[in-house]
Amino acid sequence: MNNTREVEAVVIGAGQAGLAGAFHLRRAGFEPDRDFVVLDHSPGPGGAWQFRWPSLTYGKVHGMHALPGMELTDADPARPSAEVISDYFDRYERTFDLRVRRPVDVRAVREGSGGRLLVETSDGMWSTRALINATGTWDRPFWPRYPGQETFRGQQLHTARYPGPEEFAGQRVVVVGGGASGTQHLLEIAAYAAATTWVTRRPPVFREGPFDENAGRAAVALVEERVRQGLPPRSVVSVTGLPLNDAIRQGIEDGVLDRPADVRPRHAHRGGLERWPACRCRRHPLGHRLPARRRPPRPAAAARAGRWHPYRGHARGRRPSDPPRRLRTVGQHDRSEPGRPRGRT
């Protein structure tokens, strides 16, 4: 008995990109459950934001771009961002009747017949003409490899599992990474730890002024220019800079954000160190894998062919302003990129 359900589009993930894609499908006349389906493996609304650490309040978030069609207003800056944004996503899903199915795990994407794709999930099989892969990166933390890592007797943590500053009381802590998460962890941990050390690949660059839409476009242009040269993109903070706010200024003045000159992580050993949080990036969790000929091209090769853009969440191989190849009826994406955060924490 064939229980495969047919739709025109499957959206994998209900974070900002997935919900924005579902909104545009809805606006173009597609009906949820009948014409498209949104599959999310998280327990509730909120995307990756629902898993942020409790001490990351909304006032500390470096920008949360509103989803298309509904602004996020009157958010309490003292409230945890996980609660604020989860509530916002929940209202959004209900307002536009997106009918997100959760928790659903996508296990595989295979070639079907007639140019369709077969999406195998924990909720059964789906046959679709188009696929929006909006899984994000939170579920696959990237751990840099350092010699001695496997014999280091202290605790190693990734920012995705950051428990809050109280867990570091009285300990010597090294924070690896020069992004927003690293600076936020340092400022919190310093009040509890016996000592902290900040290790980054490059000297931090602090930025004055707001990170507005023009600054965001300038950052994207820098990434795209590098990729078109066949080079891999650098970290987000290398093009956005670290915003100078009152907390950062105080951390610099207190010496918490002093970075030892020419220090880069090369070896891991005890040396009195108890904790080692790695505040580094995450990788795209394509556990379900697309069929080989449908996977996005590698950045360097695609850049030379003019087909690759650094942002995920759009139809594969297109710029945000281009109409999707397999979802032409969705219409063009606005250049302000609804559903993308202006800054990642």
- From first to last of the 345 residues of the chain, give the pLDDT tens digit: 468 999 999 999 999 999 999 999 999 999 999 999 999 999 999 999 999 988 999 988 876 789 999 999 889 999 999 999 999 999 999 999 999 999 999 999 999 999 999 999 999 999 999 999 999 878 788 777 778 888 888 888 888 888 889 999 999 999 988 888 889 999 999 999 999 999 888 888 888 887 788 888 888 899 999 999 999 888 888 888 888 888 889 999 999 998 765 455 555 444 444 555 555 555 555 556 556 555 555 444 443 344 333 333 333 333 333 333 333 222 223 333 333 333 333
In a domain, 32, yes or no: yes
Please check whether residues 196 and 112 belong to one and the same domain: no
Q: How many domains does the chain have?
A: 2
In a domain, 17, yes or no: yes
Q: Which one-letter DSSP state was computed for residue 14?
A: -
In a domain, 306, yes or no: yes
Please check whether residues 133 and 9 belong to one and the same domain: yes
Domain containing 115 equals 5-139+283-330
Output the domain CATH number for residue 255.
Answer: 3.50.50.60
Please check whether residues 38 and 123 belong to one and the same domain: yes
Q: What's the N-to-C CA distance of the chain in angstroms?
A: 47
Rounded Cα–Cα distance for residues 277 and 194 (Å): 15
Total length of the chain = 345
Please check whether residues 193 and 89 belong to one and the same domain: no
Please check whether residues 48 and 159 belong to one and the same domain: no
In a domain, 232, yes or no: no
Strand stretches in the chain, DSSP E: 5-12, 36-39, 106-111, 117-121, 124-133, 155-158, 172-176, 195-199, 206-207, 242-243, 275-278
Contact, 86 vs 40, CB < 8 A? Answer: no
Rounded Cα–Cα distance for residues 25 and 218 (Å): 29
Please check whether residues 101 and 155 belong to one and the same domain: no
Please check whether residues 156 and 262 belong to one and the same domain: yes
